[in-house]
Chains A and B, each alone.
Chain A
């Protein structure tokens, strides 16, 4: 008996690398930038998946069982798949309220927080729009939050994480100046998007959102809504299309409005070119600048 307990203790101590599970690839990228080889990383969702509809596979449970830290996007984006995984993970360290649970939505200003809420309004999140990763100015505070939490959980490596953070922020801020300059050229252009996915980007750079193809969040386009949208919209330059929804509606609307369909990555790995956080925003910029 004693031997077994000792063995288990030994097992948990001997694996020195901090084990981190992130729900989405972009969070994983931040962890990689700051933790580098001192953390082992597992990412639940794929960049090509609809972030609202990730399949709660049992294989994720096996990874969460051993995790020291679970980092989530929050704002109810993961409500459909994370609660059962967390409950079945049998891991007290990563339960909400513990140090091993980090909700990044706590560190940014969420927009579009509804005053009233009802499911009759579609899939509205009470906390506000959860797709905040698409404002590049939101990344530095999130990187800092991750570094601080890694420090708390793994204090011997704290200076290493802080060093990586500073180095990352330096590179990021340099690119940020460039992005700000380049995106500024897009100010005032009118766009339509499928889902309210790019609002943070649009708001940051002053692009004008004319409407969404979805009549309500999470409700597929209807003929009536599309006709209404087409009759009201004027001078729309782009239809912003995510990678996971059907693209016929966007093409139809683009044709009618003489606009262009732009398939825009929302996460690392959504399109081939978006290999990491830097190339994600580079690619967004490139696709919007054509």
Chain B
């Protein structure tokens, strides 16, 4: 505690020092201006005196005239009609709107697709469907995302991302970032995309493919790891890029974490007694990451390690196959990006991430007779994606992505379940970017990770995606 207070006081001291400096500087500036003004006034008065002397010799203007002139001037000012003196438009934040729409062709119809699951890893449930891109066959409006940014004051910047869908709007991100912490620190507070991994912090419109990678879908969900919380990061004073960060997050992610407890009945039909599983402690999720980058000639390498740990409450009690899970989850991530710049417009970029999940806890489910069965569940699962993107022209990019989940060990009460551990998906895309603000992408893919009733169901799809951005100029991603 003492340490914390000391740390805080050091920070506030640094802040104060900073603003003191600023004040001093401003004072100095004002003094200088005053001195200049004084000089000017002196000079003017001198001129005036000289002028007066000249006027005396010539002819004095009639005093009546002068009062008349003044009166006219005052009356003008009095009559002046100010329409809107409190106009604040100068403070309008940077605004942009990003629209993503697609045309999808798929060998499975939307109902069939909904029923498909990735055994031990992913299944769709209930009405919670937001975040899935290119969901339906035919036309999709994936999002119309409003993005706002402006400095709050000298101490904070504020960012907000509000994607609108046809059903409504949500606050995907709304966070403040410090502008002035000393010694290479930065603090973030609000709701934001966690810096876990490489792709998670990026917005879908800067992704290289129309969908998120398979490992992200199964471990982090269709929305990715977007949480309320805080982040502290620090750039080390090294000649190369070295970033450390920690996050304390609420941990509501529906695929791996979750905070809300639940009630299970000992009978499936609800005629037994209720067992209550309490909420997790909140906040629930702790994330740590380290990232580093270096250049070798025209080749830039960025690599990182990430770790996330938290409790889990996964509630799928509504539905055909009611079940729930309460336990603990650890996620590990490794990412590597290598980008070779050929010239200003062309590059070859390799990117890959490996994610590993270690989950332990109690599973609640029902047997055929409708009695509650609890089991000790242990999951050790891992997979990766690798992709190669070639920007071969100022306006054209092509790329391939390979996804594989190759570890899927699930044990119930110590007995290993026989689940498939060879779950691949392949994608290829070709992109035409008329400018930085518009993109047309054609993507073909085959996903061999989906199963139904124990049988593999291959999903083939083609996607024609359109992405447009208006308003403030977005930054080019690395």
A93 and B185 alpha carbons, distance in the complex (Å): 13
CB atoms of A56 and B237 under 8 A apart: no
Size category of the A interface is 35 or more
A12 and B25 alpha carbons, distance in the complex (Å): 21
Least CB distance from B38 to A in Å reads 23
Q: How far is the CA of A11 from the CA of B182 in the complex (A)?
A: 13
B478 touches A56 (CB 8 A): yes
Q: Which of A59-67, A188-196, A223-231 contacts B (4 or more CB under 8 A)?
A: A59-67
User: Hey, which chain A residues are within 8 Å of B177, CB to CB?
Assistant: 87
With A62-B235, A65-B235, A92-B179 known as contacts, the answer to whether A57 contacts B184 (CB < 8 A) is no
CB-nearest residue of chain A relative to B13?
A5
List the one stretch of A76-84, A136-144, A249-257, A258-266 in contact with chain B: A76-84
**B10 contacts the other chain (CB 8 A):** yes
Cβ contact of B300, chosen from A58, A66, A218, A220, cutoff 8 A: A58
Q: Is B478 in contact with A62, judged by CB distance below 8 angstroms?
A: no
- Please give, as numbers and ranges, the residues of chain A lying within 8 Å of B241 by CB-CB distance: 58-59, 61-62
A2 and chain B: residue at smallest CB distance: B6
Q: How far, in Å, is B276 (CB) from chain A's closest CB?
A: 44
Nearest-neighbour CB distance to chain B for A278, whole angstroms, equals 26
Instruction: Give Cα A55–Cα B339 distance, bound, in whole angstroms.
Output: 10
Q: Which residues from B are CB-within-8-Å of A2?
A: 6
Q: Which of A134-182 contact B (CB under 8 A)?
A: none
Q: Please judge, given known A-B contacts A11-B237, A95-B179, whether A57 and B293 are in contact too, CB under 8 Å.
A: yes
Say whether chain A's binding surface is mostly helix, strand, loop, or mixed. Answer: loop
Report which of A5, A66, A95 forms a contact with B10, defined as CB distance below 8 A: A5
- Cα distance A164–B244 in the bound complex, in angstroms: 41
In the assembled complex, the CB of B317 is this many whole angstroms from the nearest CB of chain A, namely 43
Q: Is the CB of B300 within 8 A of A244?
A: no
Could you tell me if A59 and B295 are in contact, using CB atoms closer than 8 angstroms?
yes
Cβ-defined contact, B239 with A62, below 8 A = yes
Residues from chain B with Cβ under 8 Å of A55 in the complex: 300, 339, 341, 347, 476, 478
Contact yes or no, B476 A53, CB < 8 A: yes
Q: Are B181 and A57 in contact (CB under 8 A)?
A: no
Q: Which of B424-455 contact A (CB under 8 A)?
A: 435-437
| B395 CB–A CB distance under 8 Å | yes
- A90/B473 contact (C-beta < 8 A), A49-B344, A57-B478, A62-B240 known: no
Measured CA separation A50–B343 after assembly (Å): 9
Encoded as 1 (CB less than 8 Å from any A CB) or 0, chain B from 75 to 104 comes to 000000000000000000000000000000
Query: In the complex, what residues of B have CB within 8 A of residue A12's CB?
Result: 183
Distance A39 CA – B437 CA, assembled complex (angstroms): 39
Q: Is A248 engaged at the interface, CB distance under 8 Å to the other chain?
A: no
Q: Does A8 contact B (CB under 8 A)?
A: yes
Q: Are A50 and B345 in contact (CB under 8 A)?
A: yes
Residue in chain A with minimal CB distance to B294: A59
Judged by a CB distance under 8 angstroms, whether B238 is at the interface is yes
Shortest distance between the CB of B446 and any CB in chain A (Å) = 32
Chain B 280-297 interface 0/1 with A at a Cβ cutoff of 8 Å (1 = within): 000000000001011100
Q: How large is the interface on B (under 10, 10 to 19, 20 to 34, 35 or more residues)?
A: 35 or more
Contact status B295-A57, CB under 8 Å:
yes
B470 adjacent to chain A (CB < 8 Å) = yes
A31 to B234, CA, bound (A): 29
Known: A61-B235, A61-B241, A220-B394. A92 touches B181 (CB 8 A): yes
* Across-interface contacts of B185 in A (CB, < 8 A): 90
Contact with A along B237-272 (1 / 0, CB 8 A): 111111000000000000000000000000000000
B475 adjacent to A119 (CB under 8 Å): no
The B392-434 residues at the A interface (CB cut-off 8 A) are 394-395
Contact B435 A218 (CB under 8 A): yes
Task: Tell me if A91 counts as interface (CB < 8 A to partner B).
Answer: yes
Q: Taking the nearest CB of chain A, how far is it from the CB of B202, in angstroms? A: 11
**Cβ contacts under 8 Å, B291 to chain A:** 58
Q: Is the CB of A50 within 8 A of B475?
A: no
Report how far A147 CA is from B56 CA in the complex, Å: 49
Residue among B25, B179, B239, B295 with max Cβ neighbours from chain A (10 Å): B179
Q: B300 to A92, Cβ gap below 8 A?
A: no
Nearest B residue (CB) for A99? B25
Cα-based distance from A61 to B293 in the complex (angstroms)? 10
Evaluate whether A80 and B473 lie within 8 angstroms (CB atoms) in the complex, with A1-B3, A219-B435, A244-B344 already known. Answer: yes
Closest chain A CB from B157 CB (angstroms): 7
Complex Cα spacing A66 to B437, Å: 33
Residues of B within 8 A of A1 (CB): 3, 6-7
Q: Are B473 and A79 in contact (CB under 8 A)?
A: yes
Q: Which one of A62, A79, A81 has the greatest number of beta carbons of chain B within 10 Å?
A: A62
Nearest CB on B from A216, distance (A): 10
Tell me the complex Cα distance, A123–B435, Å.
Answer: 9
Closest to B471 in A: A119
> B182 to A62, Cβ gap below 8 A?
no
A-B contact pairs, 23 of them (CB 8 A): A1-B3, A11-B237, A49-B343, A50-B345, A53-B345, A55-B476, A56-B475, A56-B477, A57-B300, A58-B291, A58-B293, A59-B295, A62-B235, A65-B235, A66-B237, A76-B473, A83-B475, A88-B186, A90-B233, A90-B235, A123-B435, A219-B435, A220-B395
Q: Considering the complex of A and B, which 5 residue pairs feature the smallest CB-CB distances, nearest first?
A: A58-B293, A50-B344, A92-B180, A62-B241, A58-B241
Add 19 more A-B contacts to A88-B235, A95-B179, A218-B435 (CB < 8 A). Answer: A1-B6, A8-B183, A53-B345, A57-B295, A61-B241, A62-B238, A62-B239, A62-B293, A79-B473, A80-B473, A80-B476, A87-B157, A87-B177, A90-B184, A90-B186, A91-B184, A220-B394, A220-B395, A244-B345
